[in-house]
Amino acid sequence: MPDFKRPNALIDIPNHYCPGCTHGIIHRLVAEVIDEMGIEGDTIGVCPVGCSVLEYVYFSCDMMQASHGRSPAVATGIKRANPDKFVFTYQGDGDLAAIGTAETVHAAARGENITIIFVNNAIYGMTGGQMAPTTLPGQYSQTTPYGRDTTREGFPIRVSEMLATLDGVAYAERTMAVDPKSIIATKKAIRKGFEIQKNKKGFSIIEILSTCPTNWGLTPLKALDWLKDNMLPYYPLGVYADKGGNV
């Protein structure tokens, strides 16, 4: 059994995430993939606006900070000018599926050869727990204090399913980060995304169901259960697009 160490692609400083938040785990998974592929020097990450806005501090590869929702466009600019480098974005649900919908959909439609790590926790975290485009019907948030009423607030967006309809999407998988098994599966999916990019197959997105104990008003453990009980039925795990072949 190998030593459990901090991946080189993560800098040795404390992060700012709340206890029980899964961002830390997902950062680590991305960093492990970067280490294993030996691509830290060839990787540029794009961080979003949202809880992971400070991600540029944590990763040891070159990083760029984008405005809210625009990461896929920023990543397009980087990747087109540097086609042999690895470019990933790391985005939350508000960033990717509300304000950045156009940028996301069109980067996918163009088949931009980038990898998107999409953290779906069904809420706006950093701004204090407002309704996200992925907030579930009936779910309480700061801006749905009576529960999300679909007659008023409409319906959640299933991003992986939606993007999988686009020909430019080479890989779309939804995973979750709640227990060792699902975390290992998530890492595998992230690796697959990066491999797809390495082989210049096109756009890859890994949607990771994630918890926000603070804004859900739950303990970390109860938040994990809430995810499984409520998010999983609405957001089934699985591979929604795979045009990458064996990588």
Partner 1 sequence: MEKSLMKGNEACAEAAIRAGCKCYFGYPITPQNEITAYMSKCLPKIEGGVFVQAESEIGAVNMLYGCAGSGVRCMTSSSSPGISLKAEGISYLAGADLPCVIVNIQRGGPGLGTIQPSQADYWQATKAMGHGDLRIPTLAPNSVQEMVDMTTKAFKIAEKYRTPVMILADGLLGQMMEPVNFSDETLSCEPYSFGANGHGNKRPKNIINSLYLDPLKLEERINERFARYEKIRLNESAADYDKGAKIVVAAYGSTARVARSAVDKARAEGINAGLFRPQTLWPFPEKQIKDATVNAKAVLVSEMSMGQMVDDVKMALEFKLPVEFFGRQGGFVPNPDEILAKIKEMEGKYNA
Decide whether 105 or 218 has the Cβ nearer to partner 1: 105
Size of residue set near partner 1 by CB under 8 A: 36
Closer to partner 1 by Cβ: residue 110 or 188: 110
Question: Are the CB atoms for 141 and 131 separated by under 8 Å?
Answer: yes
Contact flag: residue 207 with partner 1 (CB under 8 A): no
Check residue 66 for interaction with partner 1 (CB under 8 A): yes
Interaction with partner 1 in 126-185: which residues (CB under 8 A)?
none
Write down the residue that tokens 């907030």 correspond to.
135
Among 10, 30, 51, 78, binds partner 1 (CB under 8 A): 78
Select the span of 53-61, 165-173, 180-188, 195-203 touching partner 1 (CB under 8 A): 53-61
41 φ, ψ (degrees, to nearest 5)? -70, -15
95 near partner 1, judged by CB under 8 A: no
Q: Is-contact 157 150, C-beta < 8 A?
A: no
By CB under 8 A, is residue 44 in contact with partner 1? yes
* Residue 52 · residue 28 · CB < 8 Å: no
Q: Is 65 in the site for partner 1 (CB under 8 A)?
A: yes
90 phi/psi in degrees, rounded to 5: -135, 110
Residue whose structure tokens are 């999988």 = 164
d(CA 22, CA 184): 14
Binds partner 1 (CB under 8 A): choice among 56, 153, 188, 242: 56
Query: Which single residue is written with the structure tokens 């980087």?
Result: 78
Binding mask 11-40 for partner 1 (x = CB under 8 A): -----------------------------x
Q: What angle do CA 90, 91, 95 make, to 5 degrees?
A: 155
Region from 22-30, 46-54, 133-141, 231-239 binding partner 1, contact rule CB under 8 A: 46-54
C-alpha of 154 from chain center: 23
Q: How many CB atoms lie within 10 A of CB 89?
A: 31
**Positions that interact with partner 1 (CB under 8 A):** 40-44, 46, 53-54, 56, 59-67, 70, 73-82, 85-86, 102-103, 105-106, 110
